[in-house]
């Protein structure tokens, strides 16, 4: 889903490097130092940003522990069907993000309509991601898969579908979606993530997708 986003980021990065090389008279040691210094500065900026720690570490870890590792096994033991759990858990997961309403409300000059539209889009996207994360947890029987997906999605934001004057981005997005659907089950085989699928105590055998 993020193939288009990654292609766009790569094109922008390439353009930036090309501009720097042209300004410095071609590829030189000085140009390389500038690029390395820029990457180092960005890494330090992220590491010292408390919002980055919240978005990329604390929020994914706590949300996956609560809404996947704790909630899904209880629902499975309660007799809920797998498909029901995949579509039910993300509703609670999405509602937990309503705390952003007041933050966005103040950022949008206290316009309730704009804030509601933005939060509505976020809640819808959160539900869709929650379906995928719940599927990953039940399918693999391991918390690592939804956790890594959560961190990556928080970093990337909404997928880029198209970009003006860059048709390659749309082609990459379509190709990425096709590959995503084609590889969804093969790369989430339980035996790749959990070697106890025949006697899976954590999910009472559900991680074998039976």
Enumerate the active-site residues: 63, 97
- Tell how far CA 63 is from the center of its chain: 13
Q: Which two tokens stand for residue 151?
A: 């961190």
Between the CA of residue 156 and those of 3, 45, 149, 152, 188, what are the distances in Å? 11, 17, 10, 6, 22
Specify the residue for token string 């889009």. 121
Distance CA 49, CA 26 (A): 34
Q: Please, is 81 exposed, middle or buried when counting C-beta atoms within 10 Å of its C-beta (0-12, 13-18, 19+)?
A: exposed
3-state secondary structure of 33: helix
Report the sign of the C-alpha dihedral through residues 142, 193, 136, 76, in that order: negative
- Which token pair is 108? 């949008």
Alpha carbon 22 to its chain centroid, in Å, reads: 35
- Evaluate whether 153 touches 129 at the Cβ level (below 8 Å): yes
């Amino acid at each position: 889903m993020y193939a288009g986003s990654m292609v766009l980021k790569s094109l922008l990065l390439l353009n930036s490097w090309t501009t720097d090389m042209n300004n410095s008279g071609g590829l030189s040691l000085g140009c390389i130092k500038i690029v390395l210094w820029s990457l180092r500065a960005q890494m330090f900026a992220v590491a010292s940003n408390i919002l980055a720690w919240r978005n990329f570490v604390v929020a994914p870890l706590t949300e996956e522990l609560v809404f996947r590792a704790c909630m899904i096994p209880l629902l499975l033991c309660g007799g809920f069907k797998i498909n029901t759990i995949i579509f039910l858990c993300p509703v609670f997961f999405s509602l937990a993000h309503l705390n952003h309403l007041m933050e966005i409300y103040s950022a949008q000059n206290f316009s309730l309509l704009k804030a509601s539209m933005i939060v509505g889009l976020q809640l819808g996207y959160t539900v869709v991601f929650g379906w995928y994360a719940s599927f990953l947890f039940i399918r693999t029987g391991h918390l690592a898969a939804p956790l890594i997906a959560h961190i990556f999605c928080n970093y990337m934001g909404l997928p880029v579908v198209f970009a003006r004057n860059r048709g390659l981005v749309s082609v990459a997005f379509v190709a990425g979606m096709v590959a995503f659907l084609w590889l969804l089950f093969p790369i989430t085989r339980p035996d790749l993530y959990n070697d106890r699928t025949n006697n899976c105590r954590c999910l009472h055998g559900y991680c074998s997708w039976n």
